[in-house]
């Protein structure tokens, strides 16, 4: 479904990604883990079209997307939940969600997506008229995931959804990811919470200093001596 081939990218003059390749197949839930500054967010931004790679290819559903701007990538069915719970703070919950369906045409379809998101996060339905900026961290995280789902993506990328959340809410977030995956959405999950993400993922990649250091199915990664020492604190 998504193939990243030999991507090099960075900001200004500073290169962050070096020859990164990765693949996510339809229906998979893949975790991308690594230390702070390893280049995980950079990779997601490059795939989403927010950053331009200096070389390499990105293929989504057999079509190259590396030259598309961000809004066109969304229209292809690939959505990103950016890091840091980037809600539109001065818009209501409902407006936030409607913005998520920006590239969707037809009011009926938007209504359907809305119902689906409200089904997943019932709290959002109760508070649709509230300004998003007044939400707590966990609620905002649900809102941005919900917003990304509004475009009915077939492929969802999440950047650190659990960062800075209370443990109980983290569990909620991961729970909803499992449900989504169950509904057939392909997911690429970037996390610092290595154990939890590898537990729900089927496969995983480890990014170190902008390069893919390790790849494999989650169980073997969780069992790997190096991963355990570096990320699991064992």
Binding site for another protein (CB under 8 A): 12-14, 48-50, 69-72, 74-75, 79-82, 86-91, 95, 98-100, 102-103, 144, 147-148, 150-151
**Tokens read off for 73:** 């990538």
Least Å distance, CB 65 to another protein, is 14
Pick between residue 100 and residue 210 the one whose CB is nearest to another protein: 100
DSSP state of 150: T
**Tokens read off for 71:** 């809004």
Instruction: Tell me the torsion sign for CA atoms 188, 193, 196, 198.
Output: positive
Least Å distance, CB 73 to another protein, is 8
Pick between residue 152 and residue 224 the one whose CB is nearest to another protein: 152
Site of tokens 């990779």: 43
What gap in Å lies between CA 35 and CA 48, rounded to an integer?
Answer: 21
Pick between residue 12 and residue 233 the one whose CB is nearest to another protein: 12
- Strand 63-64 relative to strand 55-60, pairing: antiparallel
**Tokens read off for 3:** 């193939």
Under 8 Å between Cβ of 22 and 205? yes
Q: Which of 44, 134, 148 is nearest to 96 (CA)?
A: 148
- Alpha-carbon separation of residue 22 from 4, 31, 122, 218 (angstroms): 5, 11, 35, 15
Return the SS3 of 100: helix
Pick between residue 149 and residue 198 the one whose CB is nearest to another protein: 149
Least Å distance, CB 12 to another protein, is 4
Least Å distance, CB 223 to another protein, is 35
How many CA atoms within 13 Å lie on the side-chain side of 64? 6
Least Å distance, CB 146 to another protein, is 11
Least Å distance, CB 195 to another protein, is 27
What gap in Å lies between CA 161 and CA 54, rounded to an integer?
Answer: 28
Pick between residue 41 and residue 176 the one whose CB is nearest to another protein: 41
Least Å distance, CB 105 to another protein, is 10
Pick between residue 93 and residue 222 the one whose CB is nearest to another protein: 93
């Amino acid at each position: 479904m998504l193939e990243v081939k030999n991507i090099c990218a960075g900001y200004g003059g500073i290169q962050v990604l070096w020859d990164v390749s990765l693949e996510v197949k339809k229906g998979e839930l893949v975790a991308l883990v690594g230390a702070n500054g390893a280049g995980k967010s950079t990779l997601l931004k490059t795939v989403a079209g927010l950053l331009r790679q200096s070389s390499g290819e990105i293929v989504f559903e057999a079509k190259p997307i590396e030259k598309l701007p961000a809004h066109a990538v969304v229209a292809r069915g690939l959505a990103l939940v950016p890091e840091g719970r980037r809600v539109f703070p001065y818009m209501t919950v409902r407006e936030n969600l409607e913005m998520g369906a920006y590239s969707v045409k037809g009011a009926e379809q938007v209504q359907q997506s809305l119902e689906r998101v409200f089904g997943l996060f019932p709290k959002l339905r109760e508070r649709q008229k509230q300004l998003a900026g007044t939400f707590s961290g966990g609620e905002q995280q649900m809102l941005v995931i919900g917003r990304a789902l509004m475009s009915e993506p077939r492929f969802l990328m999440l950047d650190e959804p659990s960062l800075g959340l209370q443990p109980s809410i983290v569990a909620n977030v991961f729970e909803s990811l499992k449900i989504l995956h169950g509904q057939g959405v392909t997911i690429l999950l970037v996390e610092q919470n290595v154990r939890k993400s590898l537990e729900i993922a089927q496969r995983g990649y480890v990014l170190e200093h902008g390069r893919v250091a390790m790849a494999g199915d989650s169980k073997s990664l969780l069992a790997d001596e190096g991963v355990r020492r570096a990320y699991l604190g064992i």
